[in-house]
Amino acid sequence: MTPPALKTVGLSRSFGEFRALSGVTLTIPPGARHALIGPNGAGKSTLVNLLGGALLPSAGEILLGDRRITRLSQHARARLGLSRTYQVSSLFPDLTVLESMVLAVCERKGMGWSWVRPLARRAEEVEEAGALLGSLHLEDEALTATRRLPYGKRRLLDLCLALAGRPRFLLLDEPAAGVPSGEAAELFRAIAALPEEMAILFIEHDMELVFRFAARITVLVAGQVLAEGTPAEIAGHRRVREVYLGEAQLG
């Protein structure tokens, strides 16, 4: 049997006396398009930070494929094929888009320290970086300093940088946060066009985007899984509607 792309078992995290996440068990198959939703303070970002390695759990386990990664560093997880984006873009403002991508490709190859050599000497890495930019329609921005990019294109570049790691599992923490609605739809169309074999787990507050692009949805409330199902099942779930009353429109 093919193992899940990612699995958590009884995942918990406490901060002092505060229990941010409690006994979360998820099974995400290869190729999934899986959304994680819930009210503010539900534990969504804590869960993503645990999966990505920015935090270590108080209890529970995380498996990437058949490999236990619970205590591995972020870099070790990236080498195994797990990449992520963050709520707040953290690009190098003075690098061009192409330079940023070449740096990411060099990092994956373990030679980030030497990426500053003239790009003319990095033909292979430049070619790969250019192909990735083209896949997200950013090729026309290649020579633009990242600080000059419109915000929606910065988020596309964040996604492109994550793809430079050649992930098999991609974590997206509110990829459309702060992006105008028209640009957010463009961003999610790019996400939807990613390779089918790549599993994606994303946090998103815009329910229209969630219900348009997710094949399956998990709802977190107070650090626990309240419900999981297809968009239709979640839209019709009475407790989910109660939790979101006044916060989001489901269905």
Q: Is residue 53 part of a domain?
A: yes
Question: Which CATH number belongs to the domain containing residue 49 in this structure?
Answer: 3.40.50.300
The predicted pLDDT at position 11 comes to 98
Burial track 93-129 (b if 16+ CB lie within 10 A, e otherwise): eeebbbbbbbbbbbbbeeeeeebeeeeeebeebbebb
CA 185, 190, 192, 193 torsion-angle sign: positive
* d(C-alpha 175, C-alpha 158), whole Å: 9
Domain boundary among 155, 172, 193: 155
Locate 33 and state its tokens: 């398009």
With respect to residue 240, please indicate whether it lies within any of the assigned structural domains: yes
Structural domain including 234 reads: 1-75+205-251
Asked whether residue 70 is assigned to any structural domain, the reply reads: yes
Contact present, 207 and 231 (Cβ < 8 Å)? no
Q: What percent of the chain has pLDDT over 70?
A: 92
Instruction: For Cα atoms 100, 105, 109, give the angle at the middle one, nearest 5 degrees.
Output: 145
Which H helix or E strand runs over 211?
A: helix 207-213
Helices (H) and strands (E) in the chain, counts: 9, 10
Q: Based on the structure, what is the number of domains in the chain?
A: 2
Domain co-membership, 100 together with 67: no
Residues 36-56 pLDDT 10s: 999 988 999 999 999 999 999
Is 249 within 8 Å of 234 (Cβ atoms)? no
Q: What is the pLDDT of residues 97-133, one digit of tens each?
A: 998 898 888 888 877 655 555 666 778 888 999 999 9
Residues 148 and 94 both lie in one domain: yes
Instruction: Note whether residue 179 is domain-resident.
Output: no
Q: Is residue 190 part of a domain?
A: no
Does 127 lie in the same domain as 67?
A: no
Cβ atoms of 39 and 247 within 8 Å: the answer is yes
Predicted confidence at residue 123, as pLDDT, reads: 82
Q: 215 with 238, same domain? A: yes
Checking if the pLDDT of 230 tops 90, the result is: yes
Q: Is residue 165 part of a domain?
A: no
Structure tokens at 109: 């190859």
Each as own residue / partner, the long-range contacts of residues 137-145 (CB below 8 Å, 24 or more positions apart, any chain) are 137/190, 138/97, 141/97, 142/96, 142/97, 142/98, 143/96, 143/97, 143/98, 144/96, 144/97, 145/93, 145/94, 145/95, 145/96
Are 70 and 101 members of one domain? no
Q: Do 5 and 69 have their domain in common? A: yes
**Whether residues 71 and 15 fall in one domain:** yes
| 66 shares its domain with 100 | no
Q: What is the pTM of this model?
A: 0.86
Pairing state of beta strands 199-203 and 33-37?
Answer: parallel
C-alpha–C-alpha distance, residues 175 and 165, integer Å:
17
Do residue 249 and residue 216 come from a single domain?
A: yes
In a domain, 82, yes or no: no
pLDDT, one tens digit per residue, over 77-103 is 999 999 998 766 667 888 899 988 988
Confidence (pLDDT) at 176? 82
- What is the C-alpha to C-alpha distance for residues 32 and 197, in angstroms, rounded to an integer? 8
- The mean of the pLDDT values for the chain is 88
**In the chain, what's the furthest Cα-to-Cα distance?**
60
| pLDDT over 50 (residue 251) | no
Under 8 Å between Cβ of 202 and 45: no
Decide if 132 contacts 190 (C-beta within 8 A).
no
Q: Identify whether residues 70 and 8 lie together within a single domain.
A: yes
Q: Is 61 helix (H, G, I), strand (E, B) or coil?
A: strand
38 with 107, same domain: the answer is no
* Span 3-12, pLDDT tens digits: 899 999 999 9
State the average pLDDT over residues 23-48.
94
pLDDT score, position 103: 87
Residues 116 and 64 in one domain: no
